[in-house]
Amino acid sequence: METVETEITTWYLEQTSPDDLVPARPAALEVVRAEVPSPELSRYLYFGVGGDYNWSDRLPWNYADWAEWLARPGAETWVAYDRGTPAGYAEFSPGPDGAVEIICFGLLSSFTGKGFGGHLLTEAVRRAWTVGDRHDLPATSRVWLHTCSLDGPAALPNYTRRGFRVYDTKESVERVWERPLGPWPGAF
């Protein structure tokens, strides 16, 4: 498949206190930490959520790459379930300074538009603020993330409604797939 150059806007957002969180209305989702690192589960969630939005930086990763990524100190994956079915997830990458990045976040396409995104983000942010309590890491001092113009149209509004503030914006031109690979890369 061909790639094309496209202009991308990337927004960097943060919360600097747990009090910044503006909770969404609850939804009928169970949010559970995947305590056993599973490259298979993480790969499924990454491409299931990001395949429609050109998430492709992990496309060349093999099993060992996924396992190494998941074994980092404090790395966590939180999975949202709708009546036992995975609906979306949040993945954390804590830094040594107490900053926790929500590095991946989203819903599988069949679960969008149901009011789940705000609830999942609320629960993810609550848990990001307590990563240090579960690991031998400094207390969380900041929760941050980034999103871009390739992500779903509800992403940026959801983040700002949950109390995230934009602290930086960058414009770039990047090569992306002519059309997103979808959740099953290579299955054309």
Whole-model pTM: value is 0.92
Sketch out the chain's domains with CATH numbers. 3-177 (3.40.630.30)
Pairing of strands 165-177, 30-33: unpaired
Q: Measured between alpha carbons, how far is residue 72 from residues 97, 106, 170 in Å?
A: 15, 21, 28
Q: What share of the chain is helix, strand, coil (3-state, %, to 5)?
A: 30, 35, 40
Q: Answer whether 156's CB lies under 8 Å from 10's CB.
A: no
Digitized pLDDT (tens) for each residue of the chain, 188 residues in all: 787 888 999 999 999 999 999 999 999 999 999 999 999 999 999 999 988 888 888 888 999 999 999 999 999 999 999 999 999 999 999 998 999 999 999 999 999 999 999 999 999 999 999 999 999 999 999 999 999 998 989 999 999 999 999 999 999 998 777 776 666 665 54
